[in-house]
Structure 1
């Protein structure tokens, strides 16, 4: 017997038929259905109709959510779930390097299964259907918690380190991710990795913390397999100074620890260095982009790469404002992420949109596109970002600031 549920709301924006949008197309009107009914059969969308035209079958569960506006489940394109136990324990508003210096000692602590499970459950509770998570030793832990919570997850398996003794047989997968799988199962790595690998993609941490040859290998693998490739890019002034001059507080913090003896800066700004390494293009998701100037933003857009903005994290760390206006003007594909609880108050990606609404007066239509169809495109998700017949029936409730 099929399980049928009907959800009624004051209004609903299904995003049906909507394509990812850039530039001025972000602000185009969206269709909103008033007094709407979302009919779900076995967890999938059967139809989206007005309540007057809805005829629920006998035995259907009917749930009236009242004066709310529904939208497809939102997508958090960038987060660090495994660091959820560090909430409220790092230094904010003193610059990136000061935050990082406060974070590094805490990374020696064991991960918290309880904190990870709570973070995944919280994301689902606020209407998040999928997340792009940077993974390391906690890959298996995060994946299990996400599946239990019903949260879709793309795991960006993060390479970290500049030293070269990476075993070729292990690449493109970071040893930390493979080691985590080995610890969680007695079977050979190949047997346990195969099912999870479909949800994973090798990724780089950043240009200043990941060996160039590893970044190139990961990017090439992702391009060949049709997976998204992600890295943090142009997040802080300290990053730019390190890559250009080899100096500054980030260089002081990493020298001899992450930066090997004899390391020399490329003497290029972040975008130019990423371009030189062949890291940009279709399928690349650059995260942050706070330090990109207008010319660089246009170059990023021309490459076909996408940009994930994390405005609240940027503000908390004091690295600058998320460059939404420049991104819109350039025509780059934009989406939103929360970063992690070590640099944000929660993992509710809707609040990133609210922050941009308040600081930039960005339109709700544009922000909803960033939260849904644009993020789905950036993560290469085919069944997300829209409430259409046959699609999963996951939905979110739009905050008041995002209603139109």
Structure 2
């Protein structure tokens, strides 16, 4: 068993670490200051354009796409440690190298399931970083953790589909650069196979009947880093039948294909966030004095730091194993491990961030440190892409199945 990264991964890691240190981390404060002066809080700070230009110059662009026609042609195992590095600065890191959700998942869908015209119209500008996109699945009226509950209707009318429904927490939709939504709804609500009732269609943002009703907050934050989370009304929105992705009834299968790699990306970025928290904890502990000595001398603080290091090393190995399985036996063969990382990683990283907040005192909950925002992002990922309990249910069912009479 070889734990070393291959030569290409190591080269990209070295270059990406240098880019983060020289460009991304210094830009964090600049972006915050620029955003405060923008007319709309959802506009992209100008410094981001400088980062993306430099990333492309350094050959650090579209690293997540395994198809060399569209991206770097990396395997899941090769990309995973790069996702971790961008997670050190979740506000800017993924966006700077055009590897930010939800665009990553949407580009994967278009690359894998889109036809030539869809790829030319939407995938090409997404790959170039010219537009952004959103994935519209979650609904406020149903338990969207079960995708078969989706109520949005996609009805055929001649050469068009007519879409009617209400979505919320649609990430990226507040960004004015968001030009297209991938909308999941039901084309056959009475179908006998509940996993063949759903389809996905492309809906341009400026289509009549699309109403961006409001921005949804996350633990009180308006998530500017991801272009906000919107509530959207689709009021008899009409698009051509050619906007269907794949085939009618294929929406559920496409969603599952989209979520597999996405969970690797999320979990590795979370590990990067945990590494950032450990660094901040250590710097704080050696620089602050309480009760006559450095905080670092307190036994409880040392325990927090030690436990955090052990946890991160365990999580990283599990996620990298899952990435390797996805490359060698596919999503289905990695089913148990995909469930496991989605359960374990956000939960553990939330705990590490909570300890880091505690160590920083009032500073930990302030805007002067990234910890409160990182905690909110990590806690949200215990819900996004399926809540913990859904993954626990699925994983336990498979485990029990091995012992069923």
* Structure with the higher strand share, 1 or 2: 1
* TM-score (norm: length of structure 1): 0.27
Bigger RCO of structures 1 and 2 (CA < 8 A, at least 6 apart) = 1
* Structure with the higher helix share, 1 or 2: 2
* TM-score (norm: length of structure 2): 0.27
